[in-house]
Structure 1
Amino acid sequence: MFRFSKKKLNRAIHYLELGVLGLFLIYFFKGSSDSKTDYLKLDVTKSSRTIKPLTKNNSPTFSWTKCQQNISAANITGFSSLPERVQDFLYYRHCRHFPMLLDLPDKCGGPEKSADVFLLLVIKSSPVNYDRREVLRKTWAKERLENGVWIRRLFISGTMDSGYDKERLNKLLELEQREYNDILQWDFNDSFYNLTLKQILFLEWMERNCPKAHFLLNGDDDVFANTDNMVLYLQNLKDNDGSKHLFSGHLIKNVGPIRSPRSKYFIPVQVHESDIYPPYCGGGGFLLSGYTALLIYNMSQSITILPIDDVYMGMCLAKAGLGPVSHITVKTAGLHIPFNKVDRFDPCYYKDVLLVHRFLPAHMYVMWHRIRDPNLKCSI
């Protein structure tokens, strides 16, 4: 049997008391921490948004709780007969917030200095379109000081595929980002039916990071844009600081939804009941002021998403009591070339336009250099 002296016994009791006190303190602070965490969780539930740690640019980025499928969409009349792509759209139509995989909060120099950006090129690009992005960086989308004002470039993208294929494409964009700093990417499926979502996510980013950019070119990555001409056109406007309404492109009006399920542009009544669309500009490319871009974002908060992004822009303008206008040299339906002309890529047909849809990367590269050739002579 072990024997303890009175001195050793007192020391043991003292250590035991310290241990109990330590356990109490641990429990107390853990409880406080849990209470604080619960409080934050309640806030997140209300706003669906949390703030991540500051990035290397010392700018806060945001994450959103994962959007859940709206299973009640299956109760819509005729839902079961709709194509799978339309069903998926209806299940997730309400989702507007997705994690950012690639961000550039300082692209425009910060919210206040974004006024230094005269023309912001916002180019919709799927992750796989590496060759298109590379050509644009070397041609009309090159960031530069043009006629005394700055042109900046952004590609906006989602994700594609799954598993290893998705990882490889994400890695591709990450590597491009390291070299060029010109990509915004969100973790949503980059598909035709999500083009409107892509636009809304960009406009939200713009409101936060680049609200004072004067003008924007919003377009696809397969358009040929004469950005030299665009700068001159915008500088010659009466209101050339982007503070007034401007939305200009290839005007489309007096048309409505295509109801044929075989069409890429199929919009059933379950998605859009009206048989008429408001006036809009073809989504291949259009020019708009910074004022109008932010106005569209504001209007979008109360307008249900429609898959076709150019029509949706028209809906937002209509809600604001505004509309798009036609510009004769924006050709999103292609440029008409006389049939007896042998070379439909004769640069003389393109040197005075603002935008033409669509071009292959190789043709884009050649055309850009040909129209800027000081020795180009045209008789047409």
Structure 2
Amino acid sequence: CQANYSAASHPEFAKQPEQVRNFLLYKHCRNFTVLQDVPLDKCAQPVFLLLVIKSSPANYERRELVRRTWGRERQVLGVQLRRLFLVGTAPDPLEARKVNWLLELEARAHGDILQWDFDTFFNLTLKQVLFLQWQETRCSNASFLLNGDDDVFAHTDNMVAYLKDHDPSRHLFVGHLIQGVGPIRIPWSKYYIPKIVTQEEKYPPYCGGGGFLLSQFTATALRRASSALDLLPIDDVFLGMCLEHEGLKPTRHNGIRTSGVQTPSARVPSFDPCFYKDLLLVHRFLPYEMLLMWDALSQPELSCGKRTQVY
């Protein structure tokens, strides 16, 4: 994809950090080579919940723990779960060669790697847009989607129980709702968005990108909107923009905690499985913590009292 050098004529262009300049030069690029794809039969059977997990190329340990725990492809309450990881490429060419080899091995072993040949400041937004395009032809029969990071703990059994009360042909987009915030104009911030990128001073409501659930209907609406809107480097905000474009709204789900779990007292350890047994998703977990929590919640004798209510 060739750079759009007309963006460089803007009087504020030269003052921007390198990643913002690159975003402005390449934000029109939406076609990238697929390096790894999942088998054609990934969605051959009806999929109730498709687990769509954003992962960095080198995060092998995280992907392995997801496969062994909440992301295991299986039936829950009589419906099918399927899994795939969305991956770009490593920024350093030597590292990219190594991790691309790793991802090729993973793809052969597990059939769950969807990788494109890009490494940009707006990787996460591109993953969302390219996945929606891929899904239209390869997995449009998925009733619901979990869109999350590879460092979340997802209680997928609880998700299925919750989603069974919903209609995939109606709007659903739930997570940790964020509203009333706008672009950060401080140049040294990770989330810096200058006015050259957007003049808007307030973002539409959106759900934190660590993890959220959506329906088949809403995925189709997002795909339609994403092709009509200019990209934004912050992926969760961009999806909020897409929802607004379609006249839809995200909603809050108290069981999705992308900012972690708060305990009733500082003296109570937050890693007690009883805090997590009724939740849907919590961000962030180390790989070994994910394994421990999955094992703890799988124990039939787990007993919890009122002291482990979360807030």
How far off its partner does 1:105 sit? 5.2
How far off its partner does 1:73 sit? 1.1
Is the partner of 1:375 in helix, strand or coil? coil
Q: How does 1:145-294 map to 2 (within 5 A)?
A: 145-189=75-119, 193-237=122-166, 239=167, 242-294=168-220
Is the partner of 1:72 in helix, strand or coil? helix
Encode CA deviations 1:222-255: one digit per residue, 9 max, x unaligned. Answer: 0111000000000123x2xx11110001111111
Number of the residue aligned with 1:314 = 240
Is the partner of 2:122 in helix, strand or coil? helix
Opposite residue 352 of structure 1, the aligned amino acid is D
Give the structure with higher Rg (CA).
1
Hey, what's the Cα distance between the residues in 1 that align with 2:189 and 2:65?
Answer: 30
CA contact (8 A) 1:108 1:117 kept: no
Is the partner of 1:159 in helix, strand or coil? coil
Opposite residue 19 of structure 2, the aligned amino acid is R
Encode CA deviations 1:72-114: one digit per residue, 9 max, x unaligned. Answer: 111112111110111111110100010000112524344xx4x
Opposite residue 83 of structure 1, the aligned amino acid is P
> Does residue 224 of structure 2 align to residue 295 of structure 1?
no
CA contact (8 A) 1:105 1:209 kept: no
Q: TM-score, normalised by structure 2?
A: 0.96
Hey, what's the Cα distance between the residues in 2 that align with 1:109 and 1:188?
Answer: 25
Is the partner of 2:233 in helix, strand or coil? coil
Task: Give the CA RMSD over aligned residues.
Answer: 1.1
How far off its partner does 1:198 sit? 0.9
Encode CA deviations 1:324-373: one digit per residue, 9 max, x unaligned. Answer: 01101101111112333342100000110000110000111100110121
Opposite residue 52 of structure 2, the aligned amino acid is V
Encode CA deviations 1:249-304: one digit per residue, 9 max, x unaligned. Answer: 11111110011111111111011110000000000000000111111011111100
The structure with higher relative contact order (CA 8 Å, sep 6+) is: 2
Is the partner of 2:87 in helix, strand or coil? strand
C-alpha distance 107-323 of structure 1, shift in aligned 2 (>3 A):
farther
CA contact (8 A) 1:250 1:331 kept: yes
> Does residue 69 of structure 2 align to residue 139 of structure 1?
yes
> Does residue 253 of structure 2 align to residue 327 of structure 1?
yes
Hey, what's the Cα distance between the residues in 1 that align with 2:26 and 2:143?
Answer: 33
Opposite residue 82 of structure 1, the aligned amino acid is Q
CA contact (8 A) 2:176 2:252 kept: yes
Hey, what's the Cα distance between the residues in 1 that align with 2:41 and 2:113?
Answer: 10
Number of the residue aligned with 2:60 = 130
Number of the residue aligned with 1:96 = 30
Q: Mind listing any 5+ residue stretches in structure 2 that lack a counterpart?
A: 307-311
Number of the residue aligned with 1:81 = 15
> Does residue 51 of structure 2 align to residue 121 of structure 1?
yes
Hey, what's the Cα distance between the residues in 1 that align with 2:210 and 2:21?
Answer: 26
CA contact (8 A) 1:142 1:153 kept: yes
Is the partner of 1:176 in helix, strand or coil? helix
Opposite residue 152 of structure 1, the aligned amino acid is R
How far off its partner does 1:164 sit? 2.7
Q: Mind listing any 5+ residue stretches in structure 1 that lack a counterpart?
A: 1-66
CA contact (8 A) 1:121 1:152 kept: yes
Opposite residue 134 of structure 2, the aligned amino acid is W
Opposite residue 123 of structure 1, the aligned amino acid is I
Hey, what's the Cα distance between the residues in 1 that align with 2:9 and 2:176?
Answer: 38
Number of the residue aligned with 1:344 = 270
Hey, what's the Cα distance between the residues in 1 that align with 2:83 and 2:115?
Answer: 14
Greater helix fraction, Structure 1 or Structure 2: 1
Matched-pair identity in %: 56
Hey, what's the Cα distance between the residues in 2 that align with 1:232 and 1:262?
Answer: 43
CA contact (8 A) 2:20 2:121 kept: no
